[in-house]
Structure 1
């Protein structure tokens, strides 16, 4: 398998991204993660989706760290500063799950608050359901755990075809299109930084085809098993969806109705597109901090 590693100079002097790099080795692949805040504090695990990387959380990380939390933001394999297999077939839902499971075990994170969006939710919600003793709370913004038993929006089908077949796959423009605000040139450079050539984008192109869209897709049954756990989940579960995402619209109400821990939580609708971390980062971070402040107050 041809494994690519983005040159470090691509990440030099990125706007609003002063974080020191940390790495773990996962079966021959190097995964990068941000680790900010007090080392002995309970961690917030911020999981990005496609085609972004931990840069997406750059405005939220300092706010949550300043509130006294340890913030961990990994780059999924194929993204950011993490290694990138060049073969699109190297990426599967199960491989991503195994990579993240290994990451959890190597870092030995406990008492985790999961913050997730997009594919960060498809992986993160499974991760929490399969390791419930490690997680204390979940916050989902513009994300879901699909099983292939529900119809998918037309917008997703269009996106899937574009990712797989378009000869042009402009990472920064995609993120800009999925945000209400217009990214500046330095921000666009940062989103393009992990991908100096077409071969580096295999992981980003692979994700849409891995979403379960039929009941017999490979991930459908494992996701159903995860839902059985989530339907008994009585720990805090907060939704922070945006008001302008055509792909995940309505997913917040669906989860609020099915997950016991969502009952009585102050769910919020933030202003923004699919990438709500770009549009409402302060409000998103404050919702996380407020949830943890309430939890710690109740436990004190």
Structure 2
């Protein structure tokens, strides 16, 4: 190989290393730029929200100006009401999601890995998956009571199938050649799972986790509106019943901000978890 070819190879390898090392920050910067492009429209929406009730376009009793909502929001923060209810809701949603992970991952691996096991369980999974979690809330309450257990159960039920389906899909997408190569080198079933199946399934599992977290939050808010004495959903529903509309909208805005924060956090984590795919695609063959 000539000196020029060696230099080109070295430069290409260096560029590839640089690109993969800084790929995640670059993607983050691109995502931030996309968000900033949407800010003007959001400002217009908030300006309309402030002006419409004051100009008589909307009834301020049912749709108070944004500044009034912000005042109510700050007051709930000062008194600790908002923080306490947010903490309760997030605790319920997180616990339900954690239980879903504990059940969906091993079950998804078994269903994706062993066709006979999938044939035995798929009909039951599809039946439960297509039953609304809110339709089952009365059942959860009768079985588990009106306390924390029923709220956690509905969060679990809402999120487990997103994880399960994506785990099955991820396991099935593993290249059979990788499995044969691992077995030919004497790898045990545990080694194959840890070093082949799990890494190859991570992109699909991460996408399922993103959907599952959202489903868990939506489920806990719905459950708290229907049967709870605490939580962000209860706060919104109770404010509506008492015609405390600024508090109600403050709770809704809080839920929106939480959803946005969770969404962008999960997008960043998913990008981080799947960064190895870009490295593998860019690696020399």
TM-score, length basis structure 1: 0.23
Which structure dedicates a bigger proportion of its chain to strand?
1
Q: Which has the higher contact order (CA 8 A, sep 6+)?
A: 2
Which structure dedicates a bigger proportion of its chain to helix?
2
